[in-house]
Amino acid sequence: MCLTGVDYFSTLGYQPGIAFLAAGALSPIATLVLVLLTLFGALPIYSRVAAESPHGQGSISMLETLLSRWRGKLFVLVLLGFVATDFVITITLSAADATAHVIENPFVHDHLPFLEHPVGLTLGLVVVLGAIFLKGFKEAIGIAVVLVAVYLFFNLIVVSVGFYELATHPSHFREWKTALFSHPRVNGNPMLIVGISLLLFPKLALGLSGFETGVAVMPLVRGPHRIRNTRLLLITAALIMSVMLISSSLITTMLIPAAEFAEGGRANGRALAYLAHLYLGDWFGTAYDLSTILILWFAGASAMAGLLNIVPRYLPRYGMAPEWARATRPLTFVFTAIAIAVTIIFKADVDAQGGAYATGVLVLMSSAAVAVTISSWRAGQKMRWAFLMISLVFGYTTIQNVHERPEGIKIASFFIGAMILTSLISRVVRTTELRVEKVELDAVAKGFIDDVKGRTIRIVANRRDTGDVEEYMFKEREKRADNHIPTSDPVLFFEVVPGDASEFSGVLKVIGVDVGGFRVLRSESPAVPNAIAAFMLFLRDTTGKRPHVYFGWSEGNPLSYMLRYIAFGEGDTAPVTHEVLRQAEEDPEQRPSVHVGG
């Protein structure tokens, strides 16, 4: 919970100020709407997601099944682009906001002016975060527990003091009530207060940020009751944050002059810190600043954990990232480098990154709501109408955010484009890998191979037409003539039907069929040449003999065949099979022989 909390709870560092700037005196009411959306929208949605993806795949894995083949893969890549936007900007924005708290502290102004270099200090925080993750998750979780406990304790003190001030000075409440009913868009109408708050709450959407990481860190939840414990995690985090959001919004709205929230004001981006200094003195205020700085900086930990969990589950499986992308440490280097680049590009500016952050969060929550709605609809559950309403609310919130801050979708589009481009390049580069995890034979196929393993193994690669006796009789005669195969040597036909070419690898299941005395081995694979190469290596390893495979020449444009192979898994099969074998087996003397005739 604390690894999620460093992201989720850390928004208290800037959320009250954002709420006031967006809604003014209406901010406590708009915050209450946000809390209701959290408890009755995000919480049930992510509880359902946790039940359907107990290993932390999240709503992406639920939505992956909606579209097949390349459409489904591109859809997932787009969602992963938003994931990258959300999590990477979480790392950079949180570190930048921590830097802002450092620079705005009065003691830093007076005694440590050398720290007043936003980009350099933010880069330092990002690098240290990456270094911690290079040591492993365990150390990161331990630090998260301490930071969350200390930060919530300090916030509880500030909130308690704030309510004490309100209780002992009732004039603050009366002034807020006057400001509330005299709001220019309300005109004293209680119904308009609710209506305007409903329109304004999307501007407060960053108060939801971090909640979505609760499912992403599920693999770290131990024990036999992972789903139940994750739901408990989500409920606990939501309840704590709901209380703190409403409390902080009330005390900051009533106790801080409106001018201090504006740009250049002492409460801008640090409303609770302002109250800590005002009512508890600079020493406590500095301690509060320090806890805020640390948790904001470490908020990137939950984002990094989410990235390290989600990316290896998809891109390597799609063949759209190298196999080393399954390892934690190389990925940590990559994500840290990206965060450094983003920090430099945006010059550690919190406001410049805010739109992309909110866009990423809302798109992920909307996609989760849609996934849960579809799942419950297919199951015919009564809750489907409630989930549909939640999806519509999240959709409205996302559209409003994009409309008011279009720079967010622009930045997200860059991440999506980069994700798709690098993934497709990786797929093309890796396309001639073996791409078969293992080979499985049925009893008939095993019998065919046992019959010939004591002799020279000759395999005729065949693209089935009619599949009758005449076809195999003609093709056997043709291959024997073209390649000078002795009539005394038996041949086996091997036929691979193209499967879902968007899949990268899998198990090659081979079945045996007897067609009028001709022994035929049949299989299905995303890539025909790779399947043939893998089967040849399997024959070599199981029989101890070097097999021979026979092809005919293909008629057509080589470039067209190459594109067909990349997109659909088939093309000019013979040369690609030879290349796959060449990469898989360096020793030509051990490599299965490829023959092309005709």
pLDDT digits (tens, 9 = 90+) for 300-358: 777 777 777 777 777 766 666 666 666 677 888 888 888 898 888 888 777 677 777 77
Give ranges for CATH 1.20.1740.10 in the chain.
2-429
Give ranges for CATH 3.40.50 in the chain.
436-597
Structure tokens at 91: 């790392």
pTM confidence score: 0.73
d(CA 179, CA 182): 5
Please state the φ and ψ torsions of residue 549, each to the nearest 5 degrees. -125, 140
Fold of 436-597: Rossmann fold (3.40.50)
Q: How many helices (H) and strands (E) does the chain have?
A: 24, 7
End-to-end C-alpha distance for the chain, whole angstroms? 66
* Per-residue CA distances from 379 to 43, 275, 367, 372 (Å): 20, 50, 18, 11
Residue 155's Cβ-side half-sphere holds a number of Cα atoms within 13 Å equal to 29
Structure tokens at 189: 């109408």
Positions of the chain with pLDDT lower than 50, given as ranges: none
Q: What is 2-429's CATH number?
A: 1.20.1740.10
- Residue 549: beta bridge partners? 459, 594
- Residue 548: beta bridge partners? 458, 593
d(CA 403, CA 280): 41
d(CA 55, CA 475): 49
pLDDT at 512: 92
Structure tokens at 140: 């990161």
pLDDT at 569: 62
Please state the φ and ψ torsions of residue 77, each to the nearest 5 degrees. -60, -40
pLDDT tens track for 146-203:
888 899 999 999 999 999 999 999 999 999 988 888 877 777 778 888 888 877 777 7
pLDDT at 71: 74
Q: How far is CA 224 from the centre of its chain?
A: 25
Structure tokens at 142: 């331990």
Please state the φ and ψ torsions of residue 207, each to the nearest 5 degrees. -65, -15
Tell me the H-state helices in 266-406: 271-314, 328-345, 350-378, 384-404
pLDDT at 139: 57
Q: Is residue 515 classed as helix, strand or coil in its secondary structure?
A: strand
The answer to whether the CB of 206 falls within 8 A of the CB of 354 is: yes
